[in-house]
Amino acid sequence: MPFDYLSLPRSRKQRCSEIAAQIKQANERRECEVLILARGGGSLEDLWPFNEEIVARAIFASELPLISAIGHETDFTIADFVADCRAATPSMAAQLATPNGEEYAMMLNKLPQRLRQAIRNQTQHYQQTLAHLSRRLRHPQQRLHDQAQRCDELTQRLTRAINTQLNTHQQTLTGLARMIQAISPLASLDRGYALLKRVTTDELIRHSQEVAIGEQVFVQLAQGHLICRVETKQP
C-alpha cells in the first residue's frame, strides 16, 4: 500500500498518529502480504516521528510483516528495532520484500538432497556407535571363562608364593638346626668326649678335685653310659 509521508501534516504529533493509523489500516484491509515503512534521508527532526512510542507500538502490534527502511544506511530509529526486519535503504527494503523466486526454488530443490545426506550421516553415526558397543559387549559365558582363568592364575601365583616362603623358612630352620647341632653336647660326645656326673646327685663333674678316691661316677658316652670307680686322680 503506498504511503506518502511527505503529504502528512507538519505537526509531529499528527504525523506520528497518521503513521500509526496507516499501519493499523493496512492490517485491517489485508490488501498486501508485507508492509514497508520507508523514508528517504533527512534531518534528525525529520526522522524523529519514527522514534515516537505510538509508532513503535503500532509496528509491534502489526500482524503483517513489516520492514523498516528509514533514512540512509547510517540512520537508526526505534522503528528499526521494533520492525520484523530492518533495511539499510528503501530500495533494499524492496529487494527484501520481493526475493528471487528462482533462487528459492533452487534452495528448495536442494533440500531433499541435504535431508538425505543428513539422514545418511546420522545413520552412519549410529552404526559406528552400535559397532563400538558391540565390540565392547561380551557374552556372560566368556566373562565367566575369563574370570575362571584369572582365578587359576591367582591360585598359581599364591601357590608359588607359599612354596617360596616354605622353602625360605625350611632353609632357615636347616641352618638353625646345623648351628644347634654344632654347639650340642651330643656332638661332642660323638667326637669321643664324655660327660661325668655324680651318681647320687646327677651333678656334672668339671674338675678332678670334685671327686674322692673310691667314689663312683656316672659316665655318659655317645652310645650308652658307664658307672666307674675313681682309683686315682690328678689335678
Cα 69 from Cα 66, distance rounded (Å):
10
pLDDT at 188 over 70: no
Burial 196-233 (b: 16+ CB within 10 A, else e): beeeeeeeebeeeeeeeeeeebbebeeeeeeeeeeeee
Q: pLDDT tier at 228 (50, 70, 90 boundaries)? A: confident
Entry pTM:
0.38
- What tens digit of pLDDT does each residue of 87-135 get? 888 888 888 888 777 777 888 888 888 899 999 999 999 999 888 887 7
- What tens digit of pLDDT does each residue of 35-55 get? 888 887 667 777 788 888 888
